[in-house]
Amino acid sequence: MPSRETRTSIVFAGPTSDALVQSMEQPSCAVRTLYDAIGKLATCDATTLVEAVVIDDTLLEKNGEQHIDAIRRVDPTSIIVVRGSHAKNTGADASVPYDCNERILTSAIANALSKPIDANQNEETEQDLDEILGLVDAVDYVQETTNLGDTDLVRALMHSPSSFKEVLLRLLQQQTKWSYCSILNDTQSAPADSITAPLRYGHEEHGILAATGATSDDITRWARWTACWLNLARKQRQLKLLAYKDELSGAWNRRFLRTCLTKELQIAKNQRRPLTIMIFDIDDFKHYNDKWGHDAGDEIIREVVKLLQSIIRKGDHVCRIGGDEFAVLFCDPTPPREPGSNHPTTVEILARRFREQVSKAQFPKLGEEATGSLSISGGLATFPWDASDVDSLVEKADQRLYKSKRLGKNSITIGREE
């Protein structure tokens, strides 16, 4: 279905003055309990999104983190603001004092929405990359009774990189007979009875090798050997990232999309759960390149990816599959998968929220037209209702993208065509 103009709202949970609720520019309502707030989130549709839930901190005195986690499971895109003096360690996005006014609260919500993405939070680890792509071999390379050798290190690099360091340390201990050895970040972490040596290969640093029962000469020699293998593992990882990452945007590429979608679709079939893909592009993108130059176009692509990564869930994936064409795999396993799961509703909320946020995004290189001048069109397809194989699922999402274009752009088409 084509998109409609959405109206975001704010839900206040717990004791709240009527004056504060009525002073908000957005439609706002007050509820008594966190359960009522969760009910508001669960029953809103994509045309009445809840932008923020403002919680009186008295509701979080017991099991505050668990309550906030419950809210995020219903709608991971809503901003959670704690109102009061005990907002620390709750996992909220922002906090405001009890006596805050409309201006302070609006500013706190806006700041939370505009927080930059933590690069470390979104960086895929070596283990994550191989598990996501289904490249991890089922063979266990770490066995107590095995006499390990260099061949085992190569096999671990190729087939089970997440176990590589463990294999490396096991081999090192077998060869040296040290009672203890470990790869640490700094010397302060080393046991008092151990000696250490830097793990350095050329200009590359890999931490510290700590060992108990070693001589200075031995640990220096074995540290060089260990650093060589660690450097090889790092280069191997960098090559994998080059194969699956888009250099300009930092998103995954088309190769990743097909590999990951194939794996996730099989998991969805085995576990009898939904899997959704969204394909979208930037409306009239050529116009931005022609009018403001390719640097501005590149900035738009990078910022759109960054914005989308801040909205989707941890287990979802953003891919750039063409110039200004993108795909999102909604395959996060965290939400409930039992019969009656809200997967389609959650994905629709995420997609609508993303479209809204793009229209409000700031793009400094577009000058005075930096705000509100960008829009996207997209289409969603979900297994098992729309298709049951990779090509058909992508094709269905693509068809709905073009339907959005025909309907006037700046929309996302979801569901069965008429």
**Can you list the positions of beta strands (E) in 285-384?**
317-320, 325-330, 376-383
Task: Kindly report the length of the chain.
Answer: 418
Question: What's the rounded Cα separation, in Å, for the pair 210 and 189?
Answer: 9
AA identity, residue 339: P
**Is there a contact between 74 and 42 (Cβ–Cβ < 8 Å)?**
yes
CB atoms within 10 A of CB 234: 14
Judged on CB neighbours under 10 Å (0-12, 13-18, 19+), 119 is exposed
Region of 20 (left: φ > 0; alpha: ψ -120 to 50; beta: rest) is alpha
Q: Which CATH class is domain 9-115?
A: alpha beta
pLDDT of residue 392: 95
pLDDT of residue 8: 73
Q: Which residues contact 25 (CB under 8 A, 6 or more apart)?
A: 102, 106
The CA distances from residue 143 to 75, 148, 162, 170, in Å, are 44, 9, 15, 9
Q: Residue 211 phi/psi, 5° resolution?
A: -145, 150
In the block, which residue shows the tokens 């750039």?
A: 320
pLDDT of residue 169: 94
Per-residue pLDDT for the chain (418 aa), expressed as one digit of tens each? 333 344 578 999 999 989 999 999 888 999 999 988 888 887 776 556 788 899 998 888 888 888 888 887 777 778 889 998 655 556 788 888 888 888 888 888 877 765 544 433 444 444 467 777 877 654 554 554 468 888 889 988 888 888 899 999 999 999 999 999 999 988 888 899 999 999 999 888 999 999 999 999 999 999 999 999 999 999 998 898 889 999 999 999 999 999 999 999 999 999 888 899 999 999 989 888 888 888 888 988 998 998 888 888 888 899 999 999 999 999 876 644 444 445 656 788 888 888 888 887 777 767 666 656 788 999 999 999 999 999 999 999 999 999 999 988 888 888 754 4
pLDDT of residue 404: 92
Q: Strand 317-320 and strand 50-56: pairing? A: unpaired
Question: What's the rounded Cα separation, in Å, for the pair 153 and 144?
Answer: 15
**Can you list the positions of beta strands (E) in 167-265?**
180-184, 195-201, 204-212
pLDDT of residue 172: 94
CB atoms within 10 A of CB 184: 16
Q: Tell me which residue of 44, 117, 109 sits closest to 75, measured CA to CA.
A: 44
Question: What's the rounded Cα separation, in Å, for the pair 153 and 83?
Answer: 53
The token pair at 37 is 């707030």
Question: What's the rounded Cα separation, in Å, for the pair 319 and 244?
Answer: 10
**CATH classification code of 254-413:** 3.30.70.270
Q: HSE of 385 in the Cβ direction (CA atoms, 13 Å)?
A: 14
The CA distances from residue 306 to 114, 227, 298, 353, in Å, are 11, 34, 12, 14
Q: Please compute Rg for the chain using Cα positions.
A: 25
Looking at the DSSP bridge assignments, the partners of residue 195 are 211
Domain residue limits, the chain: 9-115, 134-244, 254-413
pTM of the model: 0.65
Q: Tell me which residue of 359, 369, 365, 370 sits closest to 410, measured CA to CA.
A: 359
Looking at the DSSP bridge assignments, the partners of residue 197 are 209
